Amino acid sequence: MKKKLLTFVLTFVLWFVLAGRFNIQVFLLGTIICSIISLMMAENLFRLIQMKDGTKDFPKKLYYIFMVIIAFIYDVFLSAFKVSRHAFEMKPSFSPRLVSVQTSLENSNSMATLVHFFTLPQGALAMDFDDIYKEYVIHWIDVDSDDEVEGKKTLILKHENLIAKIFD
Amino acid sequence: MIDFLPSIRQLFAFVFFITGIYFLLSTAVGLIRFPNLYTRLHAGSKCLMAGGISVFMGCIALEGISFVSLKLIIILAFLLITNPIAIHVIAKFDNNYNLIPKVYTKEDFEK
């Protein structure tokens, strides 16, 4: 019941923000749609969320969330610049490689956040995840040597520590 | 006294728009020119996201602090969440099921 109510409130607020006006028609339509969504999806929506400490350390974690978003946007632009340079080359030359990276993260939320970090920044693309060995299979667009692979893995570890502070 | 704030705001907005146009153009060019599916997905994820962020930031800078800006921030957040998921699903599907391309490229023949 608590989950359904929370889903209803969240979707209802989102509905009003996106609708942009307050009148009885918008209110009634929003109530019907949000009720259907909360009845159908409330169980699945919160299925994978694991809250270890509850909301106790949330203000402290806000700083880390802010840092993650800043790092994310900075890396997206850096990576996009590298890829866009290839697009305008006379003969686009790549040295792509499939690499598997092991993670030390335990929480499912942090793993999912780390996949976001693979897919957008760093010229990498997360292709698969092995649950047993906790390994990501990553497609890297520009890797010339093994030393470069190790260098990029350490770059990932930096983000991994930041994400671990939020969720673990 | 001349009010500089709207001019500075417009300057920021147009810088963001030009950056966004460059990245979105490189997305389109990359999707056509890149040799195989995975490299095309790279163009479709990173350049598209950088272009999207730039264009939305330009719109927010032009709009100022208002209700429309809040809407734009929410749409930007949805874009940040959904684009990597879609790209990851396509890559995972191709990796696990060996999709057959409709139009072959040179790299597909070599494979």
To the nearest whole number, what is the mean pLDDT of chain B? 84
Q: Is the pLDDT of residue A50 over 60?
A: no
Residues 1-20 on B with a CB inside 8 Å of A are none
pLDDT, tens only, A61-90: 788 888 888 888 888 888 888 888 888 888
Which 3 state secondary structure label does DSSP give B35? Answer: coil
The amino acid occupying position A76 is: V
Please say whether the beta carbons of B102 and B50 come within 8 A.
Answer: no
So what's the pLDDT on residue B56? Answer: 92
- Whether B29 and chain A come into contact, CB under 8 Å, resolves to yes
Phi then psi dihedrals of residue A80, to 5 deg:
-65, -35
Mean pLDDT of B52-65: 90
Give the pLDDT band of residue A168 (cuts 50, 70, 90): low
Q: Residue B1: pLDDT above 60?
A: no
Residue B110 is predicted with a pLDDT of 62
pLDDT band at B65 (very low <50, low <70, confident <90, very high): confident
How many residue pairs from chains A and B have C-beta atoms closer than 8 A?
Answer: 97
Look at B38 and A73 and tell me if their CB atoms are within 8 Å: no
pLDDT tens digit string along A148-165?
777 777 777 777 777 777
Search chain A and give the residue with CA nearest B21: A84
Q: What is the mean pLDDT of residues A42-63?
A: 68
Query: Closest Cα to residue B80, out of A116, A41, A94?
Result: A116
Over 70: is that where the pLDDT of B105 sits?
A: no
Residue B109: pLDDT band with limits 50, 70, 90: low
Closest CA to A86 of B105, B47, B18: B47
Residue of A55 and A166 predicted with greater confidence: A166
Residue A137 has phi, psi (to 5 degrees) of: -100, 120
| Residue B21 in this model has a pLDDT that exceeds 90 | yes
**pLDDT tens for each residue of A19-32:** 888 889 888 999 99
Pairwise CA distance, residues B47 & B41, whole Å: 10
Residue B85 structural domain = 5-110
Q: Which residue has the higher pLDDT, B67 or A122?
A: B67
State chain A's maximal CA–CA distance in angstroms.
Answer: 63
What is the CB-side half-sphere exposure of residue A160 using CA atoms within 13 A?
16
A88 near B CB under 8 A: yes
Structurally, chain B folds into a number of domains equal to 1
Q: Give the ipTM.
A: 0.83
Contact assessment for residue B49 and residue A76, using Cβ atoms and an 8 Å cutoff: yes
Q: Is the pLDDT of residue B100 over 90?
A: no
* B67 interfacial to chain A (CB closer than 8 Å): yes
**Token pair of B100 as six digits:** 């057959």
Predicted pLDDT of residue A56 = 66
Interface test with B, best of A15, A119, A135, A141 (most B CBs within 10 A): A119
What is the pLDDT at residue B97? 82
Residue A80 or A54, more confident? A80
Sorting pLDDT into bands at 50, 70 and 90, what band is B108? low
Least confident among A109-113, B44-48, B66-70: A109-113
Of A92, A139, A141, the CB nearest to B33: A92
Residue B24 pLDDT: 93
